[in-house]
Amino acid sequence: MFKESPIIRRKSRQIMVGNVPVGGGAPISVQSMTNTLTTDVAATVAQINALEAVGADIVRVSVPTMDAAEAFREIKLQTNIPLVADIHFDYRIALKVAEYGVDCLRINPGNIGREDRVRSVVECARDNNIPIRIGVNGGSLEKDIQERYTEPTPEALLESAMRHVDILDCLNFHEFKVSVKASDVFLAVGAYRLLAKQIDNPLHLGITEAGGLRSGSVKSSVGLGLLLAEGIGDTLRVSLAADPIEEIKVGFDILKSLKLRSRGINFIACPSCSRQEFDVISTVNALEQRVEDIMTPMDVSIIGCIVNGPGEALVSDLGLTGSSKKSGYYLDGIRQKERFDNTNLVDQLEQRIRAKAKMLDASNQIAIQELD
């Protein structure tokens, strides 16, 4: 079993979104977007803090009006995580949130209007060390591009992206990242592959409007997984018609499966069959909910029988192998004399998982101190 990802990542320049590095070999950051009314400061702050609590690195906030910009000022004062302001068309909103300390501007320079307006936003971003995200979407391409290609294609998304990139390049501004999202997996993947060959700026990955929790997670996993496996991508958002917290969870699960980020517990569990000696499904579901607050990287295998259980337990931090009435328990791949009563597995496993997490945290802290 690989302890580190075999993926060779695409080389890209690095930008800073607040205190989070994006690109240049930095860990792939996971982000989401608030779905509260931005003018409802209390609700938006609560959602941002909830997203940070489950591991979000960056949060995007829509700022469609000047009233929302004033609300953003209060939101920024009450939160700690880097915030991206999502702005369309009105350059004055960009200037206002820059004044209020935004960490990144999501604004397409070609949509702002006159050259002097574009220049004022870019110069403001430069003066305040604020990066820009160019965000191209297959559903909102420029009219002339739509007419020329008749339908969204990877080449159409690339042309739109490069149109905005060229504007920033002409203004000698290079602190930006780019996304070329589409709701169709093959369209998005094709566009990102083309873009990755054209520029060395960081790429923000996403399958936009992916769908509900189940279908959207599957679609995002397929699309983002294809790109990430090729080394493409520096930050990502899983776009779900669901609680934004789920976007963060799915995003980290995708990265964990490719061994690109290790945050929280990686459960290795069998789908269950007639050989199972305990209810694997309910045990795993209950444990996932109970220990989702643990951010310590850890592999935990929960297998319902002795056919595959010992093999998985040997390469896990903590393993359980189903047996009649009492199941075998492994710690760091070593079979323990202790056995767990099958009627009370969740409590017993939670206790051992938390103890192991504390031990790993303490060991990591000692290692850090020794390096210092």
pLDDT tens for each residue of 120-129: 999 999 999 9
DSSP 8-class letter at 110? G
Query: Of the residues 239, 257, 275, which one is the last residue of a structural domain?
Result: 257
Domain assignment present for 6: no
Measured CA to CA, the distance from residue 157 to residue 154 in angstroms comes to 5
Tokens of 353: 């998982």
Domain assignment present for 10: no
Say what the pLDDT of residue 326 is: 92
Query: Of the residues 257, 286, 321, which one is the last residue of a structural domain?
Result: 257
Measured CA to CA, the distance from residue 173 to residue 131 in angstroms comes to 9
Q: What is the CATH number of the domain that holds 58?
A: 3.20.20.20
| Nearest alpha carbon to residue 226 among 194, 202, 192, 195 | 192
Measured CA to CA, the distance from residue 167 to residue 163 in angstroms comes to 7
The Cβ-side half-sphere exposure at 205, using a 13 Å CA radius, reads 32
Domain assignment present for 48: yes
Buried (b) or exposed (e) across 138-166, using 16+ Cβ within 10 A?
A: beebbeebeeebeebbbebbbbbbbbbbe
Residue 240 sits in the same domain as residue 272? no
| Nearest alpha carbon to residue 217 among 172, 251, 245 | 251
Residue 129 sits in the same domain as residue 234? yes
Amino acid in position 78: Q
Domain assignment present for 93: yes
Residue 246 sits in the same domain as residue 283? no
Domain assignment present for 4: no
Residue 120 sits in the same domain as residue 22? yes
Domain assignment present for 21: yes
Domain count, the chain: 2
Residue 51 sits in the same domain as residue 191? yes
* Cβ pair 221, 187 in contact under 8 A: no
Say what the pLDDT of residue 227 is: 98
Say what the pLDDT of residue 1 is: 45
Say what the pLDDT of residue 370 is: 67
Instruction: Report the chain's mean pLDDT, rounded to a whole number.
Output: 93
- Around Cβ 69, how many Cβ atoms within 10 Å? 25
* Cβ pair 62, 33 in contact under 8 A: yes
Residue 78 sits in the same domain as residue 140? yes
Amino acid in position 133: R
Tokens of 116: 């002097």
Amino acid in position 148: R
Residue 239 sits in the same domain as residue 199? yes
Domain assignment present for 8: no
Q: Which parts of the chain sit beneath pLDDT 70?
A: 1-3, 367-372
- The domain of 364 spans 265-371
Query: Of the residues 234, 257, 280, which one is the last residue of a structural domain?
Result: 257
Tokens of 211: 């769908």
Mark out the alpha helices in the chain (DSSP H runs): 41-53, 66-77, 91-99, 115-127, 143-149, 154-170, 185-198, 213-229, 244-257, 280-290, 309-314, 345-371
